[in-house]
Amino acid sequence: MKIFYLILGVFLIFGACSDEEEEVIQTPLVEDASLTLSVDKVALSCAGGTAEVKLETNQEIWDAVPSAGWLTVEKGNSSLILKAAKNETGEQLTATLLVTAGVEENADTAVITVVQNDNSLVLEYTVPARTQIMLPICGLVKCSVDWGDGQTEEIDMKIDNISVAPPRHMYTSAGTYLVRISGEVPELYSMIGFSDEQRACLSGIKQWGKTGLTALRYAFYRCINIESLPPDTDDSFAEVTSFENAFSNCTALKELPEGLFASAVNAETFRDCFYKCTALTSLPVRMFENCSKATIFVYTFGDCPLVELPEGLFKDCIEAVDFNSCFTNCMTLRVIPENLFANCLKVTDFSYCFRNAQSLINIPAKLFNNCTLAEKMVGIFTYCYSLTSIPEELFRNCPEISTFSYCFTSCTSLTGIPAGLFDNNRKVVSFKGTFRDCVSLTGESPYTEIGGKKVHLYERRNYGGEFVTLNEYDACFRNCNGLSDYNTMPSAWNK
């Protein structure tokens, strides 16, 4: 019997083998997980609220886990809904959200940093030892100040920076301090009474808070160590009417958040707002979203090294009337979007708007298509040394223009002028220096055909029924001796 079982065992071991090749079972390949989020940082309002983050993944299984209890998350088909209640802690809350797609060794992860502000205006100061700072607060102030070094102070006064100065504080030790200001602060101001040394101590703005702001006139003027601005997550600018010189001469400022002024629905002026921000090279598309009452954009980005402009920059600025010098001395500006002013139907003044845009090669043909009320084009493209041509229809829809003084002065690469450039501009009283020193011009000077006859600019005086009387025209074509009619025009026009 034992022999039988022995033989049976041998058969089972060896008899199952055959000359046929064993079947190889292929393990299906698992695609590597991929995960992409629309943002990696989210700021939530101090009043509480939600934010949506878009998610793309090739995995059916994914999850999101917050690091703090104040933050909750709901999963959608391809999105995350982040939620927070009102922040009543008196301090900024920070959490991370770990998003994981796939399982085990095949998983892909991403992290979102989530911040919820409180109601405080938070400023960062970096100081050497034994340094006194002065807060840029103004107006009828009633607030609490936490100086960040263990000391606090109650402020209740009307500050005008002349007879009543803003609060000061001495730091005995060198370091970086977060100053939290909570309560009522209607204005931010740092011009009169502030030294450059005091301004230089302000190294950052961490959050805008809710202090009842109504004006940011000269708010952070010459604060040369501010590198970026926080988003307005709490409608902090809802009642602000003036941003005049708010960040002018902030020479380290290089980053602006999308929708910075989205709550500034009552803002009227952005005059000089970012003037001489010499590190600022780009602008967010939705920067002036909802700024439908803003009228003044004079010198707003003057002397900024911008390279190109977003097309929808002024989309909501339907009341704008003045863009004088808005982008003057933006010497690296190469591209102007065609629809930049498409919704700005009330603008009257474009003087010096693109003056000294030395890198600009082309002007969009329809740039002023909807600007039918425009009156002043003084020096708008002066010193645009790289400009090679002018579209003939550029001013076609601007019949109210009264002055083209110095409009294209010293555009030394300009090779020709479209004959009908000024056909519809019959109310012009000044062509003073319009093409002065455009030394590469050739061809004929511009003219309008009337009754089959060419009427050049210098001949308009003979057609009083067609054109208003010119008051200024001297040096219009000075040094444009490549023009075919240069020697036949009256001397006042080319001398």
| pLDDT digits 0-9 by tens, 88-133 | 887 788 999 999 988 877 789 999 999 887 899 999 999 999 999 9
Is 397 among the domain residues? no
Higher local confidence (pLDDT), 26 or 467 = 467
**Count of domains forming the chain:** 1
Mean pLDDT of 328-340: 98
Is 437 among the domain residues? no
Mean pLDDT of 305-321: 97
Per-residue pLDDT band at 78 (split at 50, 70, 90): confident
Is 350 among the domain residues? no
Q: Look at the block and give the residue holding tokens 């025209």.
A: 473
Question: What pLDDT sits at residue 29?
Answer: 53
Containing structural domain, residue 99: 35-116
Task: Name the average pLDDT for the chain.
Answer: 93
The Cβ-side half-sphere exposure at 223, using a 13 Å CA radius, reads 32
- Are the beta carbons of 396 and 437 closer than 8 angstroms? no
- Are the beta carbons of 296 and 323 closer than 8 angstroms? no
Integer Cα distance of 439 and 7 in angstroms: 111
Structure tokens at 450: 């009337």
173: pLDDT strictly greater than 60: yes
Question: What pLDDT sits at residue 87?
Answer: 87
DSSP 50-78: EEEEEEEES-S-EEEEESSTTEEEEE-SS
Mean pLDDT of 154-178: 97
Is 26 among the domain residues? no
Question: What pLDDT sits at residue 77?
Answer: 82
pLDDT in tens, 22-43: 555 555 555 788 899 998 988 8
Is 101 among the domain residues? yes
Question: Could you tell me if residue 48 is left (phi over 0), alpha (psi between -120 and 50 degrees) or otherwise beta?
Answer: left
Using DSSP bridges, classify how beta strands 131-134 and 447-450 pair: parallel, antiparallel or unpaired.
unpaired
Integer Cα distance of 284 and 197 in angstroms: 31
Question: What pLDDT sits at residue 104?
Answer: 77
Question: For position 108, which CATH number holds?
Answer: 2.60.40.10
Question: What pLDDT sits at residue 267?
Answer: 99
Among candidate residues 431, 334, 418, 335, the one with its CA nearest the CA of residue 379: 431
For the entire predicted model, the pTM comes to 0.84
Structure tokens at 375: 């009156």
Is 88 among the domain residues? yes
Question: What pLDDT sits at residue 24?
Answer: 52
Is 59 among the domain residues? yes
DSSP 213-271: --B-TTTTTT-TT--B-----S-TTTT--B-TTTTTT-TT--B--TTTTTT-TT--B-T
Is 206 among the domain residues? no
pLDDT in tens, 348-378: 999 999 999 999 999 999 999 999 999 999 9
